[in-house]
Amino acid sequence: MTASEPAHARVAPAVAVAAVAAPVPATAGSGPAAAGRDRSADQVGPPGTLLSAVELRKRFGETTALDGASMHVDAGEIVALMGPSGSGKSTLLHCLAGIVRPDAGEIHYGGHRLSGMSEAGRSALRRGEFGFVFQFGQLVPELTCAENVALPLRLSGVRRRAAQARAVAALARLGVDDVARKRPGEVSGGQSQRVAVARALATEPRVIFADEPTGALDSLNGEQVMRLLTQAARETSAAVVLVTHDARVAAYSDREVVVRDGRTRTGPA
Amino acid sequence: MSIGHTLLGLLEAGPRHGYDLKRSYDERFGHDRPLHYGQVYATLSRLLKNGLVEVDGVTPGDGPDRKRYAITDAGVTDVDDWLAQPERPDVYLHSGLYTKLVIALLTGRSATDVLDRQRAEHLTAMRALTRRKTTGDLADQLVCDHALFHLEADLRFLELTAARLDALTNAVLSAETAPRRPAGTTETAASTTEGRS
């Protein structure tokens, strides 16, 4: 039995900051984020594949988190990564999102090799193309909810007023525009998670990575967050990579990939 | 499900013809299994015989649908009693999946494949229910959620079984090869094997 959970615990808190507040690399204009939009580049995997991973391996010290995991995500597709605790599903998500660099294996996004990129290149890609939702909203407590949603836009160079307007629109789409001026500490768990989804959507990403997005919510709030998240993703044609051990959450996806002992199961013939 | 009690419950809103009752039943409860007219009229005549409904009026014409039925006081009491009686919790001790698993383990076939196929099948069904739930009305949401929670329970069993597969294999095989013991002592084979692995 492999156990990536300790690794996940180490990575997660840094992830939100890395995802939202990554420094702007000098090459942002012509960098991989811009290149990622170039759909004429060679695609890896079946036609329509947006993101693919082949034979990923990753160790954290003595712990093998990934032991030859492969998968692909098509544009606009919602894929659930399922598996027991410690199966490596969160590590796989972090690798796909360019947050964690695998020890071996290849990751391609939009025809470009993610595994060979610099940290600056990967952070530009995360900021420009990806959105993130985690189990606990990871909102900045000192900022209002609207400011939290506007944050990734501001970091991408959108002017304050425009960012604020887009943030309020994103909050409205999730039905929580009434908490725009409140701080995260003043809203409920369900509202806070909807604000986090609004933040992930604000930059109009092509891929949303969601790691147990309903893990801290009760059934009713969890259902609401999943319905709004998948609805918004479909309306904006964003792909979603969803890590969950909850089958009712996975049922909102188009397809599941099962992760066990660091390997993806392709299923019986 | 008790069709009689359900029809009685629907009649509490006011007198109705058999055809109306059937339509109302199908809309709310008949999702995949609508009632036959024969069932409706057979049930209504039983309720009539037992004094739980009465004929409230007859429309001139042919066919059994001429009668309009109304619930009686005894019928209302019967609905009260029915609602006060909790449903017996379903206990699934003899499922096809369980049987397939044991046979796969006993015959050296891949139990993992059995589990994987079942998981995929369950998730396909859960996706269909989730789609129906997100586009449906409140009744759709309730009936789909009920089905989804049951399927989820099956999947939790699948995951737990997948995690214990090695221990279960040992238990099944050792129970098969062990000499026969008096009834009541065999279950220790499973627990001791699991404890060792």
> Tokens 């759709």 correspond to what residue?
B140
> In whole angstroms, what is the distance from residue B156 CA to residue B150 CA?
10
The interface predicted TM-score of the complex, written ipTM, equals: 0.73
User: A255: which residues sit within 8 A by CB, 6+ positions away?
Assistant: A77, A78, A79, A80
Residue B126: what pLDDT?
95
Residue B54: what pLDDT?
95
Q: Which amino acid is at A35?
A: A
pLDDT digits (tens, 9 = 90+) for A167-204: 999 999 999 999 999 999 999 999 999 999 999 999 99
Residue B65: what pLDDT?
64
> In whole angstroms, what is the distance from residue B8 CA to residue B52 CA?
8
Nearest chain A CA: its distance from B192 CA (Å): 21
Which position has the higher pLDDT, B61 or B134? B134
Residue A218: what pLDDT?
86
Burial class of residue A35 in the structure, from the number of CB atoms within 10 Å of its CB (0-12 exposed, 13-18 middle, 19+ buried): middle
Closest residue in B to A83 (Cα–Cα): B159
**B chain contacts of residue A257, beta-carbon cutoff 8 Å:** none
Q: Average of pLDDT values for B122-134?
A: 93
The answer, for A84 touching chain B at a CB cutoff of 8 Å, is yes
Residue B12: what pLDDT?
93
Out of A100-104, A237-241, B40-44, B83-87, least confident range: B83-87
Closest residue in B to A86 (Cα–Cα): B163
The answer, for A216 touching chain B at a CB cutoff of 8 Å, is no
Q: Which residues pair with A255 in a beta bridge?
A: A79
Which position has the higher pLDDT, A13 or B32? B32
Q: What's the CATH code, domain B3-84? A: 1.10.10.10
> In whole angstroms, what is the distance from residue A263 CA to residue B167 CA?
21
- In the predicted model, residues of chain A with pLDDT beneath 50 are 1-44, 269
Residue A186: what pLDDT?
94
Nearest chain A CA: its distance from B94 CA (Å): 23
Among B110, B112, B127, select the one facing A251 at the smallest CB separation: B127
Q: Tell me the pLDDT band of B66, cut-offs 50, 70 and 90.
A: confident
> Tokens 């998500």 correspond to what residue?
A93
pLDDT digits (tens, 9 = 90+) for B136-167: 888 888 989 999 999 999 888 888 888 888 88
User: A269: which residues sit within 8 A by CB, 6+ positions away?
Assistant: none
> Tokens 């109705």 correspond to what residue?
B16
Nearest chain B CA: its distance from A79 CA (Å): 12
**A chain contacts of residue B119, beta-carbon cutoff 8 Å:** 258
Order of strands, edge to edge, in the sheet holding A263-265?
A: A130-133, A207-211, A239-243, A78-82, A255-260, A263-265
Q: Which residues pair with A118 in a beta bridge?
A: none
Report residue A182 as tokens. Answer: 């409140």
**A chain contacts of residue B126, beta-carbon cutoff 8 Å:** 247-248, 250-251
Residue B184: what pLDDT?
46
| Exposure string for A39-78, b = 16+ CB within 10 A, e = fewer | eeeeebbeeebbbbbbebbbbbeebbbbbebbbbbbebbb
Interface touch B126/A227, C-beta < 8 Å: no
**A chain contacts of residue B155, beta-carbon cutoff 8 Å:** 247
The answer, for B27 touching chain A at a CB cutoff of 8 Å, is no
> Tokens 């890896």 correspond to what residue?
A44
Write down the mean pLDDT value for chain B: 82
The CATH superfamily holding the domain A5-265 is P-loop containing nucleotide triphosphate hydrolases (3.40.50.300)
**A chain contacts of residue B157, beta-carbon cutoff 8 Å:** none
Q: What is the pTM of this model?
A: 0.74
The answer, for A154 touching chain B at a CB cutoff of 8 Å, is no
**B chain contacts of residue A84, beta-carbon cutoff 8 Å:** 159, 162-163
CB–CB contacts below 8 A, A to B: 45
Helix (H) or strand (E) holding B85: none
Residue A151: what pLDDT?
94
The answer, for A248 touching chain B at a CB cutoff of 8 Å, is yes
Interface of B with A in 163-192 (CB under 8 A): 163
- Reply yes or no on whether the pLDDT at B22 is more than 50: yes
User: A192: which residues sit within 8 A by CB, 6+ positions away?
Assistant: A137, A139, A184
What percentage of chain B has pLDDT greater than the value 70?
85
Where exactly are the structural domains of chain B?
Answer: 3-84, 96-196
Q: Quick one: which of B56, B50, B26 has its CA closest to B40? A: B26
